[in-house]
Amino acid sequence: MDMPDPLLPPRIAALPKAELHLHLEGSIQPATVAALTARHGVPLTEEEVRRRYSYRNFAEFIEAFKWVTSFLREPQDYALITADLAEHLLTQHVVYAEITLSIGVMLLRGQQPEANFDAILAAAEPFAARGLHLRFVFDAVRQFGPEEAMLVVEAAERHGSRQIVAFGIGGDELSVPAAAFRGVYDKAASIGLRRLMHAGEVGGPGKIREAIELLGAERIGHGIAAILDPALMDFLADRRIPLEVCPTSNLRTGALQRILAAMGSPGRGSLSRMLSGEQSEPEREPGPILRHHPLPALFRHGIPVVLSTDDPAMFHTTLAEEYRVARETGLSEPELAQLVAASFEFAFALPPEAARPSASVRAR
């Protein structure tokens, strides 16, 4: 039996939830990583994997992500991690998720994305009968450039599955200019894919506006830099463009610290220690820095927010933990219920059978 959570109101904990910003490759728990490495002739302990899952900034996280994905070599590896993630999502009361797949990395490693995706679909299928419906985002890597990104869209077109609901680009938003990807996003839209973009995580607010105005992005991954530009906040609220906010991720990668420094946030002593690298181990509970996350200000400005985990295993978090963090930032119970509802409202392909919070619960 689940124990009551002292920080998360029971009504919120029990609500069915959707998650919209979730990377399959970032969800691999240490025990599963150890199984993968052993499968490929590199035996490691769970503790050794946990040490790899510790980083002080975005660059260190990317190196860890590259390392763990190097052990995803065959379709059966993708099937294993899909089933593990699905089991985990059920423990979080998730009934619908849009899972991002690093197709650009698969292509870089000479793999066949269609074969990997077939294995992912087969692993995901049994979970629909258990109330969990999964859809997928084919993701390119920004620093690989537009030609490689177009190969990701073409892989989605070749496969043709209706469970591929969107195309997105992650990676280093400070690398290739957004304008270079116009043709890629036009092609994605022409084959029926919705448009996503990571922006405003390590880049400034201008990266968010470019993603929307140049590429037609319909949701923004992270987007916390919007807090630095009141006009952009108005724009997002007026256009009803959601931000996929992942607070613990922002802390782990150092994105939050940069935003707080730019804002001149209180708690500068703790902030300076984080920026200097003194706190190299991941915080296990919401700390003073995380409580200054701009989530409440963005939400209360009228910007749609969908709360997510990003890379839950790699960032030592769960969806329940993200709702606890949101509570710690000062959001009320009714506001948390609105966040739950928004994740359903802004889903790209929610099936009718996916249970949502009732209207009476959302309205309280």
Report the pLDDT value the prediction gives residue 363, as an integer from 0 to 100: 45
What digits encode the pLDDT tens for the residues 294-342?
999 999 999 999 999 999 999 999 999 999 999 999 999 999 999 999 9
Catalytic residue, candidates 19, 25, 173, 201: 201
Strand partners of residue 168: 139
What digits encode the pLDDT tens for the residues 284-304?
444 678 999 999 999 999 999
In angstroms, the CA 210 to CA 43 distance is 44
Tell me what the mean pLDDT of segment 44-73 comes to: 89
Q: Does the pLDDT at position 1 exceed 70?
A: no
Instruction: Sort strands 17-23 and 94-101 into parallel, antiparallel or unpaired.
Output: parallel
Amino acid at 289: I
- Residue for token pair 């963090």: 325
Report the pLDDT value the prediction gives residue 59, as an integer from 0 to 100: 84
Query: 74 catalytic, yes or no?
Result: no
Q: Does the pLDDT at position 16 exceed 60?
A: yes
In angstroms, the CA 327 to CA 27 distance is 23
Q: 250: pLDDT confidence band, cut at 50, 70 and 90?
A: very high
SS3 state of residue 21: strand
At residue 184's C-alpha, the angle toward residues 182 and 188, to 5°, is 115
Q: Average per-residue pLDDT in the chain?
A: 90
Query: Which tokens is 279 given?
Result: 């706190």
Rounded to whole angstroms, what are the CA distances from 272 to 128, 275, 276, 287, 339?
Answer: 46, 5, 6, 14, 31
Q: Does the pLDDT at position 136 exceed 90?
A: yes
Q: Does the pLDDT at position 282 exceed 70?
A: no
Please tell me the least confidently modeled range out of 43-47, 110-114, 217-221, 278-282. 278-282
319-328 helix and 333-345 helix, angle to the nearest 10 degrees? 140
Report the pLDDT value the prediction gives residue 281, as an integer from 0 to 100: 40
Query: Which tokens is 352 given?
Result: 């009718």
Dihedral of alpha carbons 77, 83, 87, 93, sign: positive
Percent of the chain beyond pLDDT 90? 81
SS3 state of residue 164: strand
The answer to whether the CB of 325 falls within 8 A of the CB of 293 is yes
Report the pLDDT value the prediction gives residue 287, as an integer from 0 to 100: 63
In angstroms, the CA 127 to CA 344 distance is 19
Q: Does the pLDDT at position 275 exceed 70?
A: no
Residue 364, class by beta-carbon neighbours within 10 Å (0-12 exposed, 13-18 middle, 19+ buried)? exposed
Q: 267: pLDDT confidence band, cut at 50, 70 and 90?
A: very low
Report the pLDDT value the prediction gives residue 62, as an integer from 0 to 100: 86
Amino acid at 62: I
What digits encode the pLDDT tens for the residues 21-40?
999 999 999 999 999 999 99
Domains of the chain in sequence order: 10-363 (3.20.20.140)
Q: Does the pLDDT at position 361 exceed 80?
A: no
What digits encode the pLDDT tens for the residues 143-175?
999 999 999 999 999 999 999 999 999 999 999
What digits encode the pLDDT tens for the residues 62-99?
899 999 999 999 999 999 999 999 999 999 999 999 99
Q: 265: pLDDT confidence band, cut at 50, 70 and 90?
A: low
Q: Does the pLDDT at position 277 exceed 60?
A: no
